[in-house]
Structure 1
Amino acid sequence: MSKQAPDRNLAMELVRVTEAAALAAGRWVGRGDKNAGDGAAVDAMRELLSTVSMRGTVVI
């Protein structure tokens, strides 16, 4: 294991992904269209996850 200090904080990057999804879904609250809200959240999450340099599997 490397003793170098990390140059980024993966946890904060993932928090930003979650925040973007919540903000996108929030625009649909009260409109009675769950699928549109879900789709907006998924689209936002995909867009931001593509900018995070990591290898992993998303499990829902």
Structure 2
Amino acid sequence: VGIYHTDNSELKSNEMTTWLKFHSIQQQFTAPYRSAYIGQVKRQHHTLINKACAM
């Protein structure tokens, strides 16, 4: 994973930012009031989790 894309929620903490930088992962946030895009991101996360569990 090279880019971690999320909304401006609890994952926008100093602890999370530090962890991502340590693992050389770029952090990106969605634009405010773009709920349709957030839904797409959440579906992609769900798909990745399902694929990881299937391995």
Larger Rg: 1
**TM-score tier after normalising by the smaller chain length:** 0.3 to 0.5
Question: What TM-score comes out, normalization by structure 1 length?
Answer: 0.34
